[in-house]
A and B are shown apart, each in its own frame.
Chain A
Amino acid sequence: MNNPKLSIVDLTKRYAPGLDPAVDCLSMSVEEGHLVALLGPSGCGKTTTLRMVAGLMDPTSGSIMVDGKDITQTPVHKRGMGMVFQSYALFPHMDVAQNVAFGLQMRKVGSKEQNRRVVEALDLVKLGHLAGRQVKELSGGQQQRIAIARALVVEPTLLLLDEPLSNLDAKLRENMRTEIRSIQQRTGATTLFVTHDQDEALDMADRIAVMNGGIIEQYGAPAEVYERPQTHFVADFIGQANFFASAVVADDGAAADGERSYVVDVDGFGRFGAVGAAGLAGSTHEIVVRPHRLKTSLQQPAGPFIEGVIERVSYTGDSLSLGLRAGGKELLSQMPTASSGIPRLGQTAYLSWDPADAFIIPGTAGIPHGTERPATADALAAQDVA
């Protein structure tokens, strides 16, 4: 990322002097042509961030740069961004073609050129045949596409989408995901995409910025964010997770991708293997194991294991989801279905994992053995005594 398309530096927004900042000293860069998802729970500051980038809102401090140029003070209508609103915000007093042409008219594009580009944009979203329609005669999905066409027709420096799929029904949402992704890839538009839906983010984005409480907890490729969560929040928010408070007992040598293997003492369950960044030995951390990486069997395995009682079974056809209770802790696991031997409620099951599938979350309080947990690790404490 030598020449990022968009850089956000120490961006802060405080809605009112007394309030906690909605966006707190946030920095990130977006590479040209990438689709970046701002992912996080409702109220974490995604929309605020997007609106500051769009120029619809002034930051309290910090700066926004596009192509290396500071645009923090540039008014919205001179930023050349293409924004798609959650409610689509199509102009109800104009027909479809007029809506799409609006940005071109503002840019004083000649009428011939206008027509050509409107047709092109409508074709891009496969709605060329609706050019003369009134906005109120369109379905939600169609409105969505028109909104995208309207934003893209001006060849925006950035395409900004605020929860574009949240008003669509589930089936349509799936289709639009692929649709938007394919349009974005075809046009190469650098895109900032706000969503609270992790599947959407994982599916569509080149990079995901996981936001929480006005800050970015982790910024990375989908696989990275999923497999190597840097904080408890990220691990918990994206996908399902089992957390274990563990003492990192010993460095067990090099693992793949420059990581280290460790021996960890999992609170109350004995010693297991796990991987993580270098230099973690001797401190207490959480490890995360995804349910489908938890090996579940009804016979005792050879290596270390956790013994649990099956409390919940849910059968989804190609996999079984199990809820287990082990040592007062609630655990989730998944196993492939077999034609026979479906686990029953109340049966004992044995859980284990490959060391490579357990990841030591570095962000979770790197505290030496035997010391009291600081107050900031409250969430973690709640997790493992449950």
Chain B
Amino acid sequence: MKSYTRRGFAALALTAASALALSACGGGAEAGKEAGSPTSGEVNLIAYSGIWEEQYTKAVIEPFKAKYPDIKINFVSKRSSAEMLSALQGQKGSPGTDVAIMDNSVSTTGNRQGLFEKLDTSAVPNMANVPEKFRNKDGYGPVAMLDAVGLVYDTATFPTAPDSWKVLWDPANKGKVNIVAPPSLLGISLTAITAKMEGEDYTQSIEKATAKLKELAPSVQSFAPNPDEYQSVITGQTVIGLGQNARAQYYSDQSKKKIGVAVPKEGSVYQINTINLVKGAPHSAAAKTFINYALSAEAQSAFAKALFYAPSVTNAELPAEVKARVVATDNPDITALDIDFLSKARDKWTQEWKRQIITK
């Protein structure tokens, strides 16, 4: 049985009907070979949309452009890492993308599927500042930034930040809780956190976690908060819910502290973004230049100041007030999810939520 991509299939169907000519048939560079110039041309970047795109452009891409005026960065934004992966799978064979910044769990899948190129310090010197634990053990794209799942709360309802996930189950908040259910990483993380609180090893079973989450379900206002989990609290639809620390910090400022975010004492789950060079990238030389810049202390601290993601490099200096608001990258209570396990469990857990937890 031949493994192949959707795009390939689509191309087959379409060429057979000779209805459309494929426009992206440029043919990428051979693996390992350098494509284009390291200081000119363009780089096609695929990464998150919305506020992330906005802040990354301001903090990283614009300074990069100032430094390398001959390299043009084309930002293709997607709402989730899964959508990025889907796009990259579609381009396999003739990639149009050079660099992808995406969730660790998803990029690992990409690595396994041969979508990405290995990187080393000779190609990307700044990788030297990325500690071992943030490098891919097989040599693929390293961690670019980190964040963690937290509790986003309404500061009027909670004058002091809640310090436990248990606040979600507090009857006082009934109907005022928002949870982004799986397949979102937030819901996946809550499942793992709950399992931990229930003394369960989620790689073995989430039976107890499911039972506990089922108790939570009636209190939940929305399992897909709109427009997003932060606005849900800002607009007063809910008073507490899941969210990512970094974005929540940003929106907290935006909303004049209407919301706050806390990483509770029981610990949390990291949300880790890696930066990846696409295999056969059409502009791999310029792409490496960009990746190198993205891992520079300058870019790393600029993005931390802009959107409160924790730098993945050791040499990024942060002002104290920023440092206090980005997640600590060495907190033993914050764990990274077992990615290999997760890629198998994501579907199962999603179904578990739909069948057991959300359904009344």
Is there a contact between chains A and B in the complex with CB atoms less than 8 Å apart?
A: no
> Which residues of A line the B interface, CB within 8 A?
none
> Which residues of B line the A interface, CB within 8 A?
none
